[in-house]
Amino acid sequence: MRRKLSFLLAYGMLVLFGGLGALLLLWGDKAPRASLAENRMLAGFPELSWDAVKDGSFMSGLEDYLSDAVPERQVFVAGADRLLASLSLETAADKAQEADAELEAQLQAFAQEGPTVPPTVAPTLTPLPSPTPEATAAATEEPAQTPEPIATPAPEKDLSAIQPCTFTMTQADGRVRTVYTFSPDNVRRAIRMLNAYRAVLPEDGHVFCAQPPFPGLGFQLRDGSCIGWGGDLEDTINEYCDEGVYMVSVQKVLEQPLLDGEYLYYWTDHHWTPRAACYTLNAILAAQGIDPKPYDDYAFRPNRAFYGSAALSNPNIRSTAKPDTLEVLIPDTPVKGYRVFWSRYESNAPLLYDYGSYLTFLGGTQGPWRRFETGADTGRRCLLIGDSFSNCFVPFLVPYYETVHVTDVRGDYYDDANACWTISQYIQKNGIDDVYIVYSTANGVNTVHLMEKLLRCL
């Protein structure tokens, strides 16, 4: 009797879930969409093709779609969070926030006064050449799949004299506080990584690096509790890196605008704003002698009711703080986006806008590769490697590159099983000219495993 009851129960569950799956396939929303409660993109219905069925990616995508397409999913997610909160258990967002705080605390442990590094002179970078008819024609051709070696690595400079580098903040009373200390080993590791990337690029290629500070540091300049910030990490890296490598000092770029009260960090989110990202890219372009497009010359669609990841993980913020304004870039050209994974499979990816959260930018972080065809006829291509801070950086690359490729080597976003190519293979396969590496201070030079993985993936 018990076996019969168990069979009937199992059979009933099978019929119930089978029927639910059929209803979702018939009437469910097939497009990817943002989930504010989970701070990620929900899966859309996978593209059906023989290659996708053969390599298994269709069934994997179908499972993700059925899981994410449950009706009123946001209600269930929010209810689960409330239940966990009532039981004094942590939600996933709480854990993510605590993980960020723990990482920040680990980085703070490095904070100790170190010897002052003498001021250095940043290297002179070769300006990007103006596109020629020959270059434009060549850019329309399919890049060679197995090109000859591109560049010979320059002899490594003696890095033994490198001293600890610091990130400092000057308080309103004039005292200077060291926020981060970057050990000589970590600085040397970053230099070797950046030089290795430069070595696999064409002769006129560049590697650009930026390390945006977290919002909590920016707020201290905006509210007047600090009157300046600075550091010598970028100058040291620029002194010892090969020609064609440049690390911009985000602190120097954003310091005065923050002191002037500009809106460069969200109050309810853990990220910088598009304005801050644009200022940073424009400083990189200006260092090459390129006249960049000012932020206010772009067209935007504002969302004035934006509550970000900080509000999601802390209900008190949402109930007391005013919403942020999210300015969503509307590109001048018809950008097409693709997500690239496995060996021959591509799917449509979110464009550069059209969602109402920080997931607006590229639909959030996705792996292993994304490619954006910009419609800009420049004859150059770039690859951006970065964390979620880099997502709102990407749209401002559109006027300068005909294709923009994106990846993130952290965690599950990039691994050998789904990436198919090493980064150097991907660079050669797609004819990449420039590489941008944009990781926040929480994932930057002091994150040893990330610096090592960037080298390992190359």
Distance CA 107, CA 165 (A): 13
Percent of the chain having pLDDT more than 90? 35
Distance CA 300, CA 273 (A): 13
Query: Which residue reads 């890049």 in tokens?
Result: 143
pLDDT for the residue 106: 42
pLDDT band at 75 (very low <50, low <70, confident <90, very high): very low
Distance CA 323, CA 135 (A): 46
DSSP letter string over 238-284? HHHSPTTEEE--HHHHHHHHHHTT---B-SSSSSB-HHHHHHHHHHH
pLDDT for the residue 408: 87
> Taking residues 243-253, what's their average pLDDT?
96
Both tokens of residue 113?
A: 């006064």
pLDDT for the residue 417: 64
Residue 71: count of CB within 10 angstroms of its CB = 12
pLDDT band at 335 (very low <50, low <70, confident <90, very high): confident
Residue 81: pLDDT over 60: no
pLDDT band at 149 (very low <50, low <70, confident <90, very high): very low
Residue 122: pLDDT over 60: no
pLDDT for the residue 7: 61
pLDDT for the residue 279: 97
> Taking residues 223-233, what's their average pLDDT?
91
Residue 112: pLDDT over 90: no
Higher pLDDT, 41 or 320: 320
Higher pLDDT, 154 or 92: 154
Residue 190: pLDDT over 50: yes
Residue 101: pLDDT over 80: no
Residue 205: pLDDT over 70: yes
Residue 117: pLDDT over 60: no
Strand order, beta sheet including 434-438: 245-247, 206-210, 434-438, 381-386, 403-407, 369-373, 336-341, 345-348
Residue 150: pLDDT over 90: no
Higher pLDDT, 92 or 396: 396
Higher pLDDT, 416 or 14: 14
pLDDT for the residue 17: 63
- pTM of the complete model: 0.67
pLDDT band at 336 (very low <50, low <70, confident <90, very high): confident
pLDDT for the residue 435: 97
Per-residue model confidence as pLDDT tens digits over 277-293? 999 999 999 998 999 99
Distance CA 113, CA 20 (A): 61
Residue 96: pLDDT over 50: no
User: From residue 309, how far is each of 77, 97, 264, 317, 365 by CA, in Å?
Assistant: 15, 9, 16, 10, 14
